Structure 1
């Protein structure tokens, strides 16, 4: 439940910040009449992501066992790629996202007779990116943790993000967003490493990967997945008490370079002197 909650909180807050920045810019530049058009793009993006998630979930639930394992492995790989992109994209553009969004709004509203559609599409793609990232992660999370708790956690995370987004827009609260995204990014890299190991396990169960299946180590007597803490680690980070050599190798091959890049100092991109603030 916690991982879907955190992912949806982060993704939802990113989307809420995008919408908040666009709405604030429209009001600040005396173009508040375009707020309704902006919300059209938001709702269309939300409808697309919700519809895609339901469609994939409904059409793959009756796969035979091996095909189901293959599907779960492919979805886990996609989720790992998306989560990794999400972390490093936010790390790269965090300082400039406000100016980039304002430039995109200006560009959309400078078009001729199709200003409404230009703004709708601009908002749609900005919000849909966050939503589609969430869809593939949730598909991977729901495949590994059945029951009502993962969907409930996802809904609570999204609801919390929406509330925080409105409070940020109205100025009711102030958050240290830099610290929030930095620590959640680190957490997400650990989650993604667990998903990568789970993907190689799913490919083995689907019959596609049968090498290095020896048990790397056995911690069942120290930290069993039947214990409370072991169950928590399994649901959050994909912990296995007796992982195979291939699972440990994939976990390390993903996580070590990702952490090395994550902790490298970011280079500040110089802004042109006349750029918008």
Structure 2
């Protein structure tokens, strides 16, 4: 539930910030007549995201065992790629995001109502599709229950409330620290998703070493224990992983965390030498 909540909160807040920037710009520009077009674009993006998630679930359920394992492995790899790109993109572009969105919306207003709808749709659809893909990939190794769905719904609801509070100037949070903390946690989640993708490839026979265990800590971390279920659900840490799973997990986690936590270098403003 926590991993799903984190996904919903992080992705949902990005979408909520985008929407709040667009609405605030229209209100301050005395263009409230264009608000219905913004909401139309947002609604269409939400519908597309839900439909995409349903399509992933429907497709996986109709495949054979081997086909299902391959499908889940490929979607998991895509989720890792998208979430990694998103984390580093937001780390780099967060400060200029508001200005960029206002500029694009100004251009859309000059083109007409359809352009406003499309602009709002594209701004939210990217986050929605990433959310659906990442959520689908993150719950593949979980025990069938309603907890992941509850978690992502609570995360999205929290994001909406935070976005509304920021828009109404009733809430002030340090977005740089927020995205830093949630970005670090999402890297841990993504490492677990990659580990699960390797396991699926091994189950499908694409990769070897399914029965070559790196270690066995089932005595300390039973899979059916509460703490074992928490670690498996959040970070996909299992008591009997294969060697290849551990190698993939570490090969992704260590360099990605290092690059993410490395301080960003400020752009030089000194004049060049003659």
Q: Structure 1 length as normaliser, TM-score?
A: 0.92
Do the aligned residues in 1 keep the contact of 2:202 with 2:210 (CA within 8 Å)? no
Q: Which string of whole-angstrom CA distances, capped at 9 and with x for unpartnered residues, describes residues 92-146 of structure 1?
A: 10111011111111111222xxx11111111111100100100101111232222
Q: Which string of whole-angstrom CA distances, capped at 9 and with x for unpartnered residues, describes residues 201-224 of structure 1?
A: 000001111147521122122222
Structure-2 separation of matches of 1:168 and 1:269: 29
Do the aligned residues in 2 keep the contact of 1:213 with 1:246 (CA within 8 Å)? no
Do the aligned residues in 2 keep the contact of 1:213 with 1:244 (CA within 8 Å)? yes
Aligned to 1:193: 191
Aligned to 1:179: 177
Aligned length: 268
Distance 1:36-1:269 versus aligned 2 partners, 3 A rule? farther
Aligned to 2:272: none
Q: Which string of whole-angstrom CA distances, capped at 9 and with x for unpartnered residues, describes residues 126-185 of structure 1?
A: 100100100101111232222111111111111221122212211222222221111000
Q: Decide which of 129, 150, 159 is 2:148's aligned counterpart.
A: 150
Do the aligned residues in 1 keep the contact of 2:60 with 2:72 (CA within 8 Å)? no
Structure 2, unaligned stretches of length 5 or more?
A: 270-274
Structure-2 separation of matches of 1:242 and 1:128: 38
Large movers: runs of 4+ above 3 Å:
267-271
Aligned to 1:141: 138
Distance 1:8-1:101 versus aligned 2 partners, 3 A rule? same
Structure-2 separation of matches of 1:222 and 1:42: 47
CA RMSD, aligned part only? 1.6
Distance 1:107-1:269 versus aligned 2 partners, 3 A rule? farther
1:127-276 to 2 correspondence within 5 Å? 127-145=124-142, 146-211=144-209, 213-268=211-266
Secondary structure, counterpart of 2:41 in structure 1: helix
Structure-2 separation of matches of 1:55 and 1:211: 31
Q: Structure 2 length as normaliser, TM-score?
A: 0.93
Secondary structure, counterpart of 2:86 in structure 1: helix
